[in-house]
Amino acid sequence: ARLKPDQTTTVVCGFCSTGCGLNVHLKDGEAINLSPNTDYPVNLGMACPKGWEALTPLRATDRATAPLLRNARGKLERVEWDVALRTFVDRFKAIQDAHGKESVAFISTGQIVTEEMAFLGALAKFGMGMLHGDGNTRQCMATAVVAYKEAFGFDAPPYTYRDFEESDVVVLVGSNLCIAHPIMWERLCKNKNRPEILVVDPRKTETAMAATAHYALNPKSDLTLFYGIAHILIQRGWIDQGYIDAHTVDFEAFKANVEDFTPARVAEATGLSEAQLASFAEKIHSGKRVSFWWTMGVNQSHEGVRVAQSLINLALMTGNIGRPGTGANSITGQCNAMGSRMFSNTTGLFAGHDFTKEEHRKKIAGILGIPEEVIPTRNSLAYDQIIEGILKGKIKGLWIIATNPAHSWINQEDLHELLGRLEFLVVQDMYSTTETAERAHLVLPAASWAEKEGTFINSERRIGLVKKVARAPGQALADFHIFQLVAQYWGCGELFKEWKSPEAVFQIMKRLSKGQPCDITGIEGYAMLDERGGIQWPYPEGAAFETNERRLFEDGQYYRPDQKAKFTFQAPRQLPEPTDEQYPFTLLTGRGSSSQWHTQTRTKKSAVLQRLYPKEIYVELSPVDAKKIGIEMNEWVVIASRRAEIKARAFVTNSVKPGEIFVPMHYEITNKLTFPAFDQYSRQPSYKACAVKVRRE
């Protein structure tokens, strides 16, 4: 019989960075179903298919319900928590004793609550002596972090979602907003200004189809394009010299550098016509409120930081920042990538501080009441460097939390081999069946979103609340609880006496943020977050903001020491793996549907979501190429890169141009093909373009 709820509460969705509010309907304190929250300022009563189905993955039959330890026969077998934790400590300590503290590292995630990330970062680095720890946010947002830090002086996405509704020109770059961030797209659809929507993407995505103009440029020619647009704007005097003079530095050098980016040169490099370039610039000039948005098409590139900064440059030089409907706006991926950016203690010391600065280490040690010597004085290796560390024999033990690199890492087969070389691999996850968990020596069963409490920070810097509305199955524990136990078994529990609960850690995070651009000292606690529908940072003590939707830089003051924003230029570089006679196609990868999330770890548990997406891997291929190869719709083709080959069904479509193919990232084998190149500043992997060949099966 259908259960009738006796109570309703609110939580923030645990999939993407939009951070929608959901009403969870309870019976006897347990969630039985949910509906979108009409009062939440983010989603205004809407949810995408993943949000509607968010409870289903909790009930999957392959949940990890007990710790699993690999036995002498190579099989994972159930053990008690005590055995698991003793093994965890004994094995990692033995590795550290034999090879040094740096030989054990961790890979974290943008999927756990901020308080857990903070605890993990503190425990691993201050308690367990690790130097190296990174997050899967490296695959997602590292580029935007570096771009903002250099341009603004702090990792600060400046916008609020209301800007989608208030722009009159919206530039979307490498963003299939329609399906990757469907609720943001809905917010854009609410825009009453009949905005120009300009989409820059090699592929005719769902978003490009709905745009007023689509610029289907050659893969990764975006940096050249935006320098070319800057050139036209400067040539025609369509810049805001007053804003540039008052609030920025290094414009003159930038101007000199883009002088060579003539329409003829840019047209040649991008494959767009000079008329298209002129019209792009004219549309920007004609807008009173122009906003520039980007996501993975920019971030996951060999020169992503410079591309992101080229968009920031366009916003700055046209004065399109700090006003309603404007901004240089990076859209985050995961539900808590922004929490990771501020409080994970991986790349940077807590709350935007720096491991390499003595005054920062002193300050953080004082706030936390810990000896300064336990804080590392060097930065961690980035994700790819940790993996390289395994190859070089320097990293021997790895603790992976709530992420699935055996599926998601670039050039996957190499990683599979390297995971096998580890002396001890611990995977802490809600399922024991992920491609990564299956390779672990020890699996720690973790509670899921909605089986624990804490906060997420969404793309517009809004801190939202997650509540416990369901019981974790079997012996699975909240990640927070697992970290407490690890601290106790490791013998460093004394350092974390104050870290008693997620809300206690939230209070610690407030102290860490005091005086920083992300200051949240004015947020009393969880009740206030719940009552206000989330709160955007900054929210310093004594803050009295008129609205709950705030953008940054309204006063033109940035976070760099001179309070000015900085223009940056670097000459575009060639694709790391360009096409050639042997591998004549460019492989594009990306999201395939609003119904699927990343490696499908959770979304494949929902029959509803599975029905919305092809089970079998497919490749989008142009009719011209299909004819050349002799392929019909739905036939199997072989796609080969220099690293591996896979089979996929042909989906013959004009969404891709001749010479380009697209394979969604959600399938397990897509990343066998991708080429391991990285942005030199952000170390973000360049998933978006590599060389392949295609043939009939």
Q: Kindly tell me which of 43 and 344 has the beta carbon lying closer to ligand SF4.
A: 43
Q: Kindly tell me which of 13 and 156 has the beta carbon lying closer to ligand SF4.
A: 13
Footprint (CB under 6 A) of ligand SF4, residues 26-45: 43
Q: DSSP for 119-130?
A: HHHHIIIIIS--
Where do runs of H (alpha helix) occur along 62-160?
81-99, 114-122, 142-152
Decide if residue 183 touches ligand SF4 (CB under 6 A). Answer: yes
Q: Tell me the closest approach of the beta carbon of residue 237 to ligand SF4, in angstroms.
A: 41
Q: Tell me the closest approach of the beta carbon of residue 182 to ligand SF4, in angstroms.
A: 5
Contact 269, 585 (CB under 8 A): no
CA distance 453 to 558: 34
Contact 538, 520 (CB under 8 A): yes
The residue within the footprint of ligand SF4, chosen from 10, 31, 50, 657 (CB under 6 A), is: 50
Q: Kindly tell me which of 51 and 517 has the beta carbon lying closer to ligand SF4.
A: 51
Q: How far is CA 473 from the centre of its chain?
A: 28
- B/e letters for 332-371, b = 16+ CB within 10 Å, e = fewer, are bbbbbbbbbbbbbbbbbbbbbbebeeeebbebbbebbebe
Q: Kindly tell me which of 50 and 149 has the beta carbon lying closer to ligand SF4.
A: 50
Decide if residue 15 touches ligand SF4 (CB under 6 A). Answer: yes
Q: Kindly tell me which of 47 and 217 has the beta carbon lying closer to ligand SF4.
A: 47
Q: Kindly tell me which of 170 and 505 has the beta carbon lying closer to ligand SF4.
A: 170
Q: How far is CA 405 from the centre of its chain?
A: 14
Q: Kindly tell me which of 335 and 440 has the beta carbon lying closer to ligand SF4.
A: 335
| Cis amide leading into 561 (omega within 30) | no
CA distance 8 to 34: 9
Site string for ligand SF4, 248-287 (x = CB under 6 A): ----------------------------------------
Cα separations in angstroms, 370 against 367, 466, 532, 544: 8, 29, 34, 33
Q: Tell me the closest approach of the beta carbon of residue 37 to ligand SF4, in angstroms.
A: 10
Q: Tell me the closest approach of the beta carbon of residue 480 to ligand SF4, in angstroms.
A: 22
Strand segments, DSSP code E, in 591-686 are: 618-621, 636-640, 645-652, 660-664
Binding window for ligand SF4 (CB under 6 A); candidates: 47-55, 201-209, 266-274, 544-552: 47-55
The residue within the footprint of ligand SF4, chosen from 18, 484, 586, 686 (CB under 6 A), is: 18
Q: Kindly tell me which of 104 and 178 has the beta carbon lying closer to ligand SF4.
A: 178
- B/e letters for 56-86, b = 16+ CB within 10 Å, e = fewer, are bbbebeebbbbbbbbeeeeebebbebeebbe
Q: Kindly tell me which of 113 and 410 has the beta carbon lying closer to ligand SF4.
A: 113
Q: How many residues line the site for ligand SF4 (CB under 6 A)?
A: 13
CA distance 331 to 573: 24
Q: Kindly tell me which of 20 and 565 has the beta carbon lying closer to ligand SF4.
A: 20
Decide if residue 13 touches ligand SF4 (CB under 6 A). Answer: yes
Q: Tell me the closest approach of the beta carbon of residue 455 to ligand SF4, in angstroms.
A: 14
Cα separations in angstroms, 477 against 67, 444, 487, 489, 641: 10, 9, 15, 16, 41
The residue within the footprint of ligand SF4, chosen from 11, 19, 397, 466 (CB under 6 A), is: 19
Task: Give the alpha-carbon dihedral of 418, 420, 423, 425, to 10 degrees.
Answer: 90
Residue in the shown chain whose Cβ atom is closest to ligand SF4: 51
The residue within the footprint of ligand SF4, chosen from 10, 11, 16, 350 (CB under 6 A), is: 16
The residue within the footprint of ligand SF4, chosen from 11, 26, 31, 48 (CB under 6 A), is: 48
Decide if residue 51 touches ligand SF4 (CB under 6 A). Answer: yes
Binding interface with ligand SF4 (CB under 6 A): 13, 15-16, 18-20, 43, 47-48, 50-51, 182-183
